[in-house]
Amino acid sequence: MIQLRDVYYAYLTEPVLKGINLDIPQGTITVLSGENGSGKSTLLKVILGELIPQQGEVRLMDTPVAEMTDFSAVSYVPQVQVMNQVAFKITCLELVSLNLYREFGFWKIPTQAAKAKARKQMEALSLSEYIDTPFNELSGGLKQRTMIARALVNEPKLLILDEPTANVDAESTKAFLAQLNQLKAEEHLTIVIVSHDLQALQENLAIDTHYRLRLGELSHA
């Protein structure tokens, strides 16, 4: 699903990523940890083709990422801050439905079918009571969960999560990680998680591989 070969990336002169090799098979859960500033977000951006490495090769779903035009099978949820707001008034259901825009048809507005799918996805993440709530009024944890519902609604093959349990209480974290296990087992979803919350992950998540990024190099944790 993801392959990196000898990848170097530098913003300025000193490389942040120094010869990264990585193989992530389909249907696995990979955890990526490392100190603040160790390059985790940079690595995610390289995997997603947002940053082009100066050296090395990045392949997503057997295609060089630089040649990919259709990213519909890839969902990325950046870290959500409590202060994150969307610029216009929108309910959670509308926000989740918007990620089905490929199905909107001629009028380019969410269809009833898209809304029904979004509703089902929100229910699966225990968000039923927030369907009509304006997104900007939610707490950080609920915003995070709504963004994850949005990421899952178009049935991706690859889900990349940056600090998904930050600002989320212990009980919701546990429920959310159980859902990730289920998505791996039932949908064969490939999941990559950047996290500091290692104890919760190790206790509740069916992790296949845990890598640590340190001084620009990746090793098994």
Ligand X SMILES: Nc1ncnc2c1ncn2[C@@H]1O[C@H](COP(=O)(O)OP(=O)(O)OP(=O)(O)O)[C@@H](O)[C@H]1O
Q: What whole-number distance in Å separates Cα of residue 137 and Cα of residue 85?
A: 9
Hey, what are 2's tokens?
A: 């993801």
Give the type of residue at 106: F
Kindly state the smallest distance separating residue 44's Cβ from ligand X, in Å: 8
| Tokens 């439905």, located at residue | 97
Q: Which 1-40 positions form the footprint of ligand X (CB under 6 A)?
A: 11, 16, 34, 36-40
In the bound state with ligand X, the residue whose beta carbon lies nearer, of 5 and 18, is: 18
Is 126 a residue that touches ligand X (CB under 6 A)? no
Kindly state the smallest distance separating residue 53's Cβ from ligand X, in Å: 13
In the bound state with ligand X, the residue whose beta carbon lies nearer, of 38 and 204, is: 38
Q: Which residues pair with 29 in a beta bridge?
A: 191
Is 189 a residue that touches ligand X (CB under 6 A)? no
In the bound state with ligand X, the residue whose beta carbon lies nearer, of 78 and 134, is: 78
In the bound state with ligand X, the residue whose beta carbon lies nearer, of 40 and 143, is: 40
Can you tell me which of 28, 30, 42, 75 binds ligand X, judged by CB under 6 A?
Answer: 42
Kindly state the smallest distance separating residue 184's Cβ from ligand X, in Å: 24
Kindly state the smallest distance separating residue 81's Cβ from ligand X, in Å: 12
Side-chain-side CA neighbours of residue 35 (13 Å) = 7
Q: What whole-number distance in Å separates Cα of residue 49 and Cα of residue 43?
A: 10
Q: Collect all residues with Cβ–Cβ distance below 8 Å to 4 and sequence separation of at least 6.
A: 20, 21, 22, 46, 47, 56, 57, 58, 59
In the bound state with ligand X, the residue whose beta carbon lies nearer, of 37 and 69, is: 37
Phi and psi at 189, nearest 5°, equal -70, 140
Q: Which 193-212 positions form the footprint of ligand X (CB under 6 A)?
A: none
Kindly state the smallest distance separating residue 92's Cβ from ligand X, in Å: 26
Residues in the chain: 221
Contact criterion met (CB below 8 Å) for 221 and 189: no
Kindly state the smallest distance separating residue 171's Cβ from ligand X, in Å: 25
Contact criterion met (CB below 8 Å) for 135 and 92: yes
CA geometry: angle at 149 spanning 197 and 162, to 5°?
30
Can you tell me which of 41, 84, 91, 181 binds ligand X, judged by CB under 6 A?
Answer: 41
# binding residues, ligand X (CB under 6 A): 10
In the bound state with ligand X, the residue whose beta carbon lies nearer, of 37 and 186, is: 37
Which positions lie near ligand X, rule CB under 6 A? 11, 16, 34, 36-42
